[in-house]
Amino acid sequence: MTKNIFLLFALAVALFSCSPDEQETVNTTTAGLGEAQDYKKSALSPSNPANPFDQAGLLHNQILDLLPITKLPNPSLSFFYNTLEDLALQDNSFLALAPGGYLPVTPEQANSIGTTTLGNALSFTTLSAASRTSLENLVNTIVAFDYDHKNYNEIYEPIVAYESAILASSLSPQELNVILTITSIARYAAFAQSTGKGKGKGRDKDWRLSMGNITAASYGVRESGAKAIILSLASGLFETSSAE
């Protein structure tokens, strides 16, 4: 990320531990939590350099690495939207994914996301029916993958193969943007679950990829890659913090 990662982490800790209306104090003293991983240099990496929209997934996981995964007493989606936006908007590479300017999540968007399905979210994009169906099938495979007992490469390879087929197709630039942004976020989110937020097997198994993550990303990508990141992360963090 383009700004000092430790300054961003300090902000993340402050946001998570100093919001009396939303939560009690959260312990954020885990050593090394603020060290966002260089995924491109990892022996096991979720990156796909061939995907021109891979920055979306990279930023998704780098932001996720900054945040403590914790159960909150009274979580709300608005808390996560606000926290993530305050954090991400300080980074120039994030802002670059919203070329028309980033607009905060509105109450109307929040309400719509909570009641929509993946198919419905994709129906409002520029994708054809065939493209929507193929993408839904891939997402179903990603969400259903057995992350606890299988190697990440077993889901990474079909995602990258799908992206290669999409890049070789005659889809429009708008369709490529939608599909490859979603697959990038899904590929990195799958890595976060498989390896424990990218920090090594078993480090933190609370984070779980869900259909809600990808549905939210699909809703947000209509506006920008930046909005897809925020909505996807908020959905995942909310579901995790709400879990018993």
pLDDT tens string 221-240: 999 999 999 999 999 888 87
Does 204 score more than 50 pLDDT? Answer: no
User: Taking a C-beta distance cutoff of 8 angstroms, is the pair 95, 89 a contact?
Assistant: yes
Q: What per-residue confidence (pLDDT) applies to 239?
A: 83
- Buried/exposed code over 72-85 (b: 16+ C-beta within 10 A; e: otherwise): beebbbebbbbbbb
Does 14 score more than 60 pLDDT? Answer: no
Does 215 score more than 80 pLDDT? Answer: yes
pLDDT tens string 80-124: 999 899 989 999 999 999 999 999 999 888 888 888 999 999 999
Angle, helices 173-195 vs 211-220, to 10°: value is: 150
pLDDT tens string 18-34: 443 443 333 332 222 23
Where are the domains positioned within the chain?
A: 5-242
